[in-house]
Amino acid sequence: MKIFTNEQIRSIDRYTIENEGVTSLELVERAATAIACELISRWRPSHRICIFAGPGNNGADALAVGRMLIEQGYNVEIFLFNIFGKLSDECAYNRKRLLEIDNADFTEVVGGNFQPPDLSSDVVVLDGLFGSGLREPLTGGFQSLVSYINGSEAYVVSIDVPSGLFGEWNENVLSRNVVHADLTLAIQFPRLAFFIVDNAEFIGEWKVLDIELSQQEIKSSPYDYFLVEKSDARNMLRPRGLFTSKADFGNALLVAGSYGMMGAAVMGARAALRSGVGKLTVHSPRCGYNILQASVPEALFQTDHHDIAITDITLKHDYNAVAIGPGIGTHDVTKKALESFIISHSSGKPLLLDADALNCISQRRHLLDALPPLSIITPHAGEFDRLFGEHNTAEERLK
């Protein structure tokens, strides 16, 4: 799945409207229908639902959802915050449609004297204040409202993104100024912010709702980030024919393990075989022989000269893939072996470097520049900071 920026999503919206005969109001109706269906699938009409709508198109979605839920017999309270006396065309239209419904529990907040409703644990809050179009952090009354929602016991559902959160970068956003959603219903695409651990407390569970934006434009639009899903992985797996053998599915080398850390080598070997490798060789010190042969008998074992550490990484065959790192430690002899291998292999096939291979490289950073093109590194936060310096957030690391 492509992960687009806010600007790219707006561009896809515009293309859909201009080239596929769809109006902006129709897109709002599609989004609202999908949101309403999701709410109906989770809560019965007897459940109390409180909707907070902002003045833009996120608010338009929320008002349309309110109308649809009322039509289905739900107990809905709707609050539209028109503080600045200016609504988007879509929001104004859906306000008009809502006012046409008899006995709708609808309040338009136009001043500062807002008395918030009671938000007990049996209430579902639909947050439609601000979506991905937000340009500045929340302040004033909206900041107070978000604080009130967060302090309640209500179950919170946010439309598109939790109000106060930006679609990509949130470096200067304070936690207390963002709605803490239990469920985020993303319209058409997940946002980059969803994949940054710093934002997990705001987003909760998330689900993408398809509103049928132009597939042609989605396919042709460039992207910088991509989410690998099950279908993507499945398409990469080669089918196993009746007359194929292990020789047809690649030959890999895994350099892993040292004294006291053979578990990492075992798990790495099992993962390589699970991924579909036809033949796997594990290069490890002598101490790992019995462990590997007993735990992963499908793998070949290539013994290092050393009893407890890896001291030599030499390719004795033409492997299709080479992975180095799990549990190899950071012994001086291991760092030297890794350095010799990377420098001699710098014009060769890409490498997969994990765990202690990265810790070794962090002590000899010139090796980063010697890695073959298209190599893959898989650092966790600590390993990343050892390689690239201290960072305070996952967002900083992604940037």
CB contact at 8 A, 192 and 161: no
In the chain, pLDDT over 70 holds for what percent of residues? 100
Q: What letter does residue 116 receive in the DSSP assignment?
A: P
Residue 156: its H or E element: strand 155-159
In the chain, pLDDT over 90 holds for what percent of residues? 93
Looking at residue 126, its pLDDT comes to: 98
| Mean pLDDT along residues 181-203 | 96
| Upper half-sphere CA count for residue 8 (Cβ side, 13 Å) | 20
CB contact at 8 A, 304 and 286: yes
Q: Has domain 247-398 been given CATH number 3.10.129.10?
A: no
CB contact at 8 A, 328 and 334: yes
Average pLDDT, the chain: 96
User: 247-398: same fold as 2-231?
Assistant: no
pLDDT tens track for 326-365: 999 999 999 999 999 999 998 889 999 999 999 999 999 9
pLDDT tens track for 305-328: 999 999 999 999 999 999 999 999
Pairing of strands 2-3, 225-226: antiparallel
Give the start-to-end residue ranges of the domains of the chain: 2-231, 247-398
* 3-state secondary structure at position 205: strand
Query: What sections of 177-313 are H helices per DSSP?
Result: 200-203, 215-220, 230-236, 262-274, 289-295
| Mean pLDDT along residues 123-143 | 94
- pLDDT of residue 33 exceeding 90, the answer is yes
Tell whether pTM > 0.85: yes
Specify the CATH superfamily of domain 2-231: YjeF N-terminal domain (3.40.50.10260)
The most distant pair of C-alpha atoms in the chain lies apart, rounded to whole Å, by 84
- pLDDT of residue 391 exceeding 80, the answer is yes
Q: Give the integer Cα–Cα distance in Å for 15 and 337.
A: 55
Sheet holding 48-53, edge to edge: 105-109, 75-81, 48-53, 123-128, 155-159, 183-187, 205-209
